[in-house]
């Protein structure tokens, strides 16, 4: 079942990210839309599509936020335990398992972070345009789309660094405190 959730999360991110990128109003996206004979979005279209994406994101967060929290907790704890096995007990299999779990951490949370990391520049491109008064007020209310992890925080690139920091600090503490080493 966890593999099904992982594949679902990756497919969701890969499907939503181009939609977020297409809403951008920077010059490269405008030129691409003109070359494909597509219209550049108007203010009402942006409002409509952003609202739909935010509802879709809320449904995704309600369905998968606790899965992401469980994956983070599971991978962090078992990665620490495997590094401890490799360092204190000289178990080479622990190092291989820890490296595989670090790979999974990077894979899962990098995909989750892409939602926030792609929607923030899109919103910034909207703020650089000169729009109506209504659109400027609307922009002030818009927040980047993000994947919530549990009910505590959201996934971005700093979450990956924080997880690696926690893993390395706790694994090192356990290895140093082990009496048999």
Would you state the pLDDT for residue 165?
95
Would you state the pLDDT for residue 4?
84
Query: Measured in whole angstroms, how far is the alpha carbon of residue 9 from the centre of its chain?
Result: 10
Local confidence band at 171 (pLDDT 50, 70, 90 cut-offs): very high
Q: Where are the domains positioned within the chain? A: 2-177
Local confidence band at 134 (pLDDT 50, 70, 90 cut-offs): confident
Q: How far apart are CA 16 and CA 13, in angstroms?
A: 5
Q: Which two tokens stand for residue 133?
A: 């008064």
Q: Which of 11-15, 57-61, 129-133, 156-160 has the lowest mean pLDDT?
A: 129-133
* SS3 at position 131: coil
Would you state the pLDDT for residue 29?
60
Q: In this prediction, what percent of the chain has a pLDDT beyond 70?
A: 90
pTM of the entire predicted model: 0.80
Phi-psi region of 51 (alpha: psi -120 to 50; beta: other; left: phi over 0): alpha
Would you say the C-alpha torsion 22, 27, 30, 32 has a positive or negative sign? Answer: negative
* SS3 at position 18: helix
What number is the average pLDDT over the span 8-28?
82
Would you state the pLDDT for residue 128?
78
Q: Which residues pair with 108 in a beta bridge?
A: none
Residue 80 has pLDDT above 90, yes or no: yes
Local confidence band at 115 (pLDDT 50, 70, 90 cut-offs): very high
> CA angle 160-161-166, nearest 5°?
100
Q: Which of 25-39, 62-76, 109-123, 160-174 has the lowest mean pLDDT?
A: 25-39
């Amino acid at each position: 079942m966890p593999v099904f959730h992982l594949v679902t999360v990756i497919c969701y991110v890969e499907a939503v990210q181009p939609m977020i990128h297409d809403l951008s109003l920077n010059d490269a996206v405008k030129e691409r839309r003109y070359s494909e004979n597509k219209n550049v979005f108007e203010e009402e279209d942006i409002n409509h599509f952003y609202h739909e994406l935010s509802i879709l994101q809320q449904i995704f967060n309600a369905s998968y936020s606790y899965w992401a929290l469980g994956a983070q907790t599971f991978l962090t704890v078992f990665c620490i335990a495997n590094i401890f096995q490799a360092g204190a007990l000289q178990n080479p299999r622990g190092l291989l398992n820890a490296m595989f779990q670090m790979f999974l951490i990077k894979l899962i949370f990098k995909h989750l972070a892409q939602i926030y990391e792609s929607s923030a520049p899109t919103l910034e491109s909207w703020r650089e345009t000169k729009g109506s008064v209504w659109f400027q007020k609307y922009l002030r209310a818009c927040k980047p789309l993000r994947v919530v992890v549990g009910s505590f925080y959201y996934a971005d690139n700093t979450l990956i660094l924080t997880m690696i920091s926690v893993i390395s600090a706790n694994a090192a503490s356990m290895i140093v405190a082990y009496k048999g080493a």
